[in-house]
Structure 1
Amino acid sequence: MEITLVGVSESDKELAETLTRENMANYYAQRGLIWQPELFLQSWPDTENYRIHWQRSLAGFVRFQAYSGILTIRDLQLYPDFRKQGIGTQALDVLENMARQRGCHLLRLSVFKENPACALYLRRGFSPVEEENAVLRLQKIIAT
């Protein structure tokens, strides 16, 4: 079954913030960081935001910015029940196609290095370009 990306409504930003906060809670706690929901909500208008649907269900959200030939994935968040089913892989494929259609030559993202999603990104052709405070910045060159 294929995923679909669906445009968000105004009420989705609170759902996306809650999902992101809950998914990131352990990583933040390990580092003594404090989640600041207002920063997430303030950045919402600056990103393209989509619901990830799978089998007619809301599986998660993706947020990104595309400019200067680079598509930067800000968030790719899945609800726990939808993990390990290939949905993240499909989302990355969709984002790569979107990047290509927009003339982008790079996909970029940041991930806590102990996050299991890091292995997915590396398998999908992302390479580390920088590490700071256990956060990896990864990128993938997009063939045009």
Structure 2
Amino acid sequence: MAFHLRAATDRDLTFARTLTHEAMSGYYAQYGLLWSNDGFDTAWAGRENWLICRDDCVLGFISLSRDRHALYIRELHLLESCRKQGAGSWVLEQMALKACPQGLLRLTVFKTNPAKRLYQRKGLSIVGEEDCFWRMERVCLSS
């Protein structure tokens, strides 16, 4: 049962928006932030989006952007029933490989999100903070 990525399409937007809202609503409430479906949809349209799959099952999705310095993980969410099965670790390793041309893999994570520990185990370090977020990055070298 190997994991793989499949390019997301506009048909996957509702799934991604709902999954993100469900996963993040507690953090939004904790930090007094407002969720915007329109904001999510606009961001989705301007990003590289992938579904995280095992066999024919969709487990979650990842949303990316990049500049000349880094590949940015903007969203990474797994269905609650699909967590703690190795998919998150696998995706982070795939993204580290994908980030090699830019040299850095970057993301931000809510300070109270336990996913920070996974990110640290996969080589991302805290490099700064903004309000309720940690900024994290990993140097990715071409082999």
* Misfit runs of 4+, over 3 Å: none
User: Which residue does the alignment assign to 2:104?
Assistant: 106
Aligned residues: 142
User: Which residue does the alignment assign to 1:59?
Assistant: 59
Alignment root-mean-square deviation, CA:
1.0
TM-score by length of 2: 0.95
> Unaligned regions of 5+ residues in structure 1, if any?
none
Shift of 1:96: 1.2
Distance in 2 (CA, whole Å) between partners of 1:124 and 1:138 is: 11
Contact 1:19 1:79 in 2 (8 A): yes
- Percent identity between matched residues is 38
CA distances 1:70-108 after superposition (whole Å, capped 9, x unpaired) = 1000011100001011110000111111222xx110000
CA distances 1:31-86 after superposition (whole Å, capped 9, x unpaired) = 12110111110111211001100142110000001220310000111000010111
Contact 2:31 2:132 in 1 (8 A): no
Contact 1:28 1:34 in 2 (8 A): yes
Contact 1:65 1:71 in 2 (8 A): yes
> Unaligned regions of 5+ residues in structure 2, if any?
none
The answer to whether structure 1 residue 50 and structure 2 residue 50 are counterparts is yes
Q: Match of 1:113, as an amino acid?
A: K
Shift of 1:11: 1.4
CA distances 1:109-128 after superposition (whole Å, capped 9, x unpaired) = 00012111100001111111
